[in-house]
């Protein structure tokens, strides 16, 4: 899962990004509203964390611009503004959640996971596909009831597939969620990751749909 973090406080942004990467997220950082608005309008993200007090363009204007473009990006506002009026304005502008500073990173991670899960149409925290189970709230995978050990790239690819289980996910959509910034991989690197996943959960669970992408299925019982 790839997250857009729009935050002008550089030390705080790096601290948040590091914490999210430790939870397997890919993170792109924008240090001002203008850059954040552009990235959110042109790139694909699982969710965005958006500060309000930004240089060049304030957070509410950024959010209103995304919504005016009908961008479905789930947005969590992260700000030092405590007033109820500011929260109301944020939700009116199209925010999905709101967290005030100071905060615990653990709470931010949980809120982001919930936003991503709900935006994918899953109401409960556990997503099951055959012998594979994903705890979308805690971020862990189990296969046949046992914890599944994954690299960061494997986790990102598999989480992208299980959030849209039984649906074909385009190769480019998967790559955009697996890599940060301009470091995007290609179809060859994706095939390598999918091959490793197949060795861990069974070849039959990840179908290749030629010319399009991959589909996670329940596979053989």
- The stretch 151-155 carries a mean pLDDT of 92
β pairing state of 97-100 and 75-79: parallel
Residues 83 and 105 in one domain: yes
Backbone conformation region of residue 181, classed left if phi is above 0, alpha if psi is from -120 to 50, else beta: left
- The stretch 31-48 carries a mean pLDDT of 94
The residue among 119, 134, 155 that closes a domain is 119
Please report, for the domain that includes residue 173, its CATH number: 1.10.10.10
- The stretch 1-8 carries a mean pLDDT of 94
DSSP H helical segments within the chain, as ranges?
10-22, 33-42, 59-68, 84-93, 105-119, 152-163, 171-178, 187-201
Please report, for the domain that includes residue 7, its CATH number: 3.40.50.2300
pTM check: above 0.75: yes
- The stretch 139-143 carries a mean pLDDT of 93
Cβ proximity of 49 and 112 under 8 Å: yes
- For 80-100, what is the HEC assignment? CCCCHHHHHHHHHHCCCEEEE
Number of C-beta neighbours around residue 42 at 10 A:
8
Would residue 171 count as lying in a domain? Answer: yes
Cβ proximity of 78 and 108 under 8 Å: yes
Residues 135 and 29 in one domain: no
Residues 135 and 161 in one domain: yes
Residue 49 is encoded by which pair of tokens? 């964390």
Residues 89 and 130 in one domain: no
Residues 54 and 141 in one domain: no
Would residue 136 count as lying in a domain? Answer: yes
Q: Residue 183's pLDDT is what?
A: 54
Residues 57 and 103 in one domain: yes
Residues 103 and 207 in one domain: no
End-to-end CA distance of the chain: 28
Reported confidence tier of residue 221, pLDDT bands at 50, 70, 90: very low
Domain that holds residue 51: 2-119
* Distance (Å, whole) CA 50 – CA 95: 9
Residues 109 and 132 in one domain: no
Q: Residue 199's pLDDT is what?
A: 94
Would residue 189 count as lying in a domain? Answer: yes
52-56, 127-131, 133-137, 184-188: segment of lowest average pLDDT = 184-188
Would residue 85 count as lying in a domain? Answer: yes
54-68, 79-93, 186-200: segment of lowest average pLDDT = 79-93
Specify the number of domains making up the chain.
2
201 exposed, middle or buried (CB, 10 Å; 0-12, 13-18, 19+)?
A: buried
* Chain centroid, CA 96 distance in Å: 14
Q: Residue 185's pLDDT is what?
A: 57
Q: Which of 92, 200, 89, 196 is nearest to 144 (CA)?
A: 200
* Distance (Å, whole) CA 32 – CA 53: 9
Residues 13 and 96 in one domain: yes
The residue among 97, 119, 141 that closes a domain is 119
Backbone conformation region of residue 157, classed left if phi is above 0, alpha if psi is from -120 to 50, else beta: alpha
The residue among 54, 84, 119 that closes a domain is 119
Indicate the SS3 state at residue 119.
helix
């Amino acid at each position: 899962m790839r997250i857009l973090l729009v935050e002008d406080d550089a030390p705080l942004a790096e601290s948040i990004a590091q914490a999210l990467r430790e939870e397997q997220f890919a993170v792109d950082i924008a240090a001002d509203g203008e850059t954040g608005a552009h990235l959110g309008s042109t790139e694909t993200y699982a969710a965005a964390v958006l500060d309000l007090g930004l240089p060049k363009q304030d957070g509410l204007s950024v959010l209103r611009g995304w919504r005016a473009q009908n961008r479905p990006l789930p947005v969590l506002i992260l700000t030092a503004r405590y007033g109820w009026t500011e929260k109301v304005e944020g939700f009116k502008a199209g925010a999905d959640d709101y967290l005030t500073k100071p905060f615990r990173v653990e709470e931010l991670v949980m809120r982001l996971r919930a936003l991503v899960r709900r935006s994918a149409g899953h109401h409960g925290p556990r997503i099951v596909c055959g012998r594979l189970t994903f705890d979308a709230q805690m971020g862990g995978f189990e296969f046949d009831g046992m914890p599944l050990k994954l690299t960061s790239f494997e986790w990102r690819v598999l989480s992208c597939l299980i959030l849209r289980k039984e649906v074909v996910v385009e190769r480019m959509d998967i790559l955009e969620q697996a890599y940060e910034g301009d470091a995007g991989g290609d179809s060859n690197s994706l095939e390598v990751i999918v091959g490793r996943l197949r060795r861990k959960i069974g070849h039959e669970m990840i179908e290749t749909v030629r010319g399009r992408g991959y589909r996670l299925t329940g596979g053989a019982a």
